[in-house]
Structure 1
Amino acid sequence: MLSIIIPAYNEERTIHLILDKVRKVELIGGLNKEIIIVNDRSSDDTAGAVTRYRAAHPDLNIQYFAHDVNMGKGAALHTGISRATGQYLIIQDADLEYDPEEYNDLLRPVLDGFADVVYGSRFQGSKPHRILFFWHTIGNKFLTTVSNIFTNLNLTDMETCYKLFRTEMIQSLRLEEKRFGFEPEVTAKISRIPNVRIYEVGISYYGRTYEEGKKIGWKDGVRAIYCIVKYGLFR
């Protein structure tokens, strides 16, 4: 089974659309889907949107959890990861920037016996990528490079949402970061697992503007640098 962790904050307008996409995916290897939605104290009707979707699709395995206070994306991921029961686990944002049709691209290296962890890179391959923010791209590549210096990996996209893990592997980590520091922290900690096999595959990217709901900002980039150094130096 594949556990799909969806952190949600004010995604009333899009969460039913991403759930439609997830529902239609036919996974390779005969895997079933477990969808774990964690509502991080949204101020809109994300909760109602999920409730209505579950009622309309009772055959879909959707687990729903809600935080009493807004704690951040990382905290929502911690909640979802701790409750996953599938053999494999993937992170899926509640917006429409990433395409669930590509789950199988990430699963294939694991099911073929080559990988334990697979990152979906927005900077590899020939799949479509929306053209948006120059400085975001430079920032992402800079953070990935600095992360690679500390982890001795050669990733091209450390900040990607699409990360697939063997569930027992990520559940063995003690994760601390509550916001977007999750990405460099989990990368640093997963890289130190003995004999871990990490792969990358190219994915598409349908980015959002801030008007369309993008949330990450420059302060999160500064925090990411702090997390890279912190978790890279201190075990």
Structure 2
Amino acid sequence: SRFDFLDFCLYYDMLLSVLMPLYNEQETVAEIVEKVLALPLDLELIMIDNASTDKTGQIIAKFSNRKNVRIIKREKNIGKGDAVVAGLELATGKYTVIQDGDLEYDPNDIVKMVDKAEEKKALAIFGSRILNQGSGISYYRYLWGGKLLTLVARLLYFNGITDESTCYKMVSTDLMKSLKLECERFEFCPEVVAKLGRNGIKIFEIPIAYYPRKFEEGKKIRWIDGVEAIWCLLKYRFKSVPKFSAK
């Protein structure tokens, strides 16, 4: 790594900031919030309600009295990336990780990611659904979606990752803020991968569980998001990106 890990992590208020962008997740949000808050970690949970039209806002308001919970209410749903940027501004943890508001990912895997980061003194840890042979991910769907994105990312950035489109991307908060994220929708995910790659940051991976939901159950990503993700990976391979600097 180009950075001194100890210098990078001397100043933080707590171990982990969990960013949870939300849009119409009334069926699952209470359960996932409880799971995150039950983790044996010194963490803060920052929920960003992306102008939900269901009862999501009312449900998360019940957690507002928790000292480690912060809630941001957006008046317009611009996109997941926009919500993440808003939450990142408030993050004070040593690491930042993104948690979706559904039940596709198991928050217990976040504990393993933190352990790996501490062990390896890593600046970036991804949770890979592919490394877990027992994962519920559909090989057919992944073949034409995530596998293609992963291949493009590996070819462009030589990062060796196995799951580019995973939600579980945990990055040192200082580094994450230095990325100066610009993408407002789902393409913020490959933007993170691209900017880490351009700065020579090693990405570690651990196997994680995955329980995919269907579109009728609330899944929001579309085929056009995959096209935009590939374009994003290509764009940032040649576009000028911020250079990270340790504090």
TM-score where L is the length of structure 2: 0.87
The change in CA–CA distance for 1:10 and 1:90 in structure 2 (over 3 A counts) is same
**Residue deviations 1:158-197 (CA, integer Å, cap 9, x gap):** 1000011110011011111111101111101012225x23
SS in structure 2 at match of 1:230: helix
Match for residue 214 of structure 1? 219
Shift of 1:52: 2.1
Matched, 1:130 2:153: no
Superposed, 1:1-235 pairs within 5 Å as 1-27=15-41, 32-54=42-64, 58-126=65-133, 128-132=134-138, 134-194=140-200, 196-235=201-240
Whether the aligned pair in 2 keeps the contact of 1:92 and 1:161 (CA below 8 Å) is: yes
The change in CA–CA distance for 1:212 and 1:232 in structure 2 (over 3 A counts) is same
Fraction of identical pairs, as percent: 38
Structure 1, unpaired ranges of 5+: none
SS in structure 2 at match of 1:66: strand
SS in structure 1 at match of 2:59: helix
In structure 2, what residue type is equivalent to 1:4?
V
Whether the aligned pair in 2 keeps the contact of 1:170 and 1:190 (CA below 8 Å) is: no
CA distance in 2, matches of 1:131, 1:219: 20
Shift of 1:132: 4.1
In structure 2, what residue type is equivalent to 1:160?
T
CA distance in 1, matches of 2:93, 2:52: 26
Shift of 1:23: 1.7
Whether the aligned pair in 1 keeps the contact of 2:159 and 2:202 (CA below 8 Å) is: no
In structure 1, what residue type is equivalent to 2:86?
T
Aligned-residue Cα RMSD (Å) equals 1.5
TM-score where L is the length of structure 1: 0.91
Structure 2, unpaired ranges of 5+: 1-14, 241-247
The change in CA–CA distance for 1:18 and 1:137 in structure 2 (over 3 A counts) is farther
In structure 2, what residue type is equivalent to 1:171?
K
